[in-house]
Amino acid sequence: MGSCDSGVSIRQESRADAICEARLPAPVREALRLAREARPRHTLRCLAFHSAENGREIARLGLTSMVDLRPKDVMVLAVAVTETGREDVRTVSHTLVIRVEAAR
């Protein structure tokens, strides 16, 4: 699991610190777990996280720019959850940007 940093903020300017994986939404943690299982010879490090509800940004964590990253070194996990209530339908989408590194 990645490290936790209390300086990562919700609805504010992002910091380039590590993302606390334990605080990610459950569907995103599950997708990350499956991605790690599928790549046992690699280390997956979370770089950035974005979440939106009905198209409106509700969270942005981690790096704001991805300098010096090659496309083959990056994986993007996207998870969308739709909840139907009595009076409305709510869709929350989550995007996690990950660096893929050879295990040491």
Kindly report, residue by residue over 9-67, the tens digit of the pLDDT: 333 344 445 688 898 999 999 999 999 999 999 999 999 999 999 999 999 988 877 77
More confident position, 66 or 93? 93
- Cα–Cα distances (Å) from 49 to 13, 40, 80, 96, 103, in that order, read 13, 22, 13, 5, 23
Look at the block and give the residue holding tokens 């929350």.
92
Q: Reply yes or no on whether the pLDDT at 103 is more than 90.
A: no
- Predicted structure pTM score: 0.76
Task: Spell out the SS3 assignment of 53-86.
Answer: ECCEEEEEEECCCCCCCCHHHEEEEEEEEEEECC
**Alpha-carbon span 11 to 39, nearest angstrom:** 32
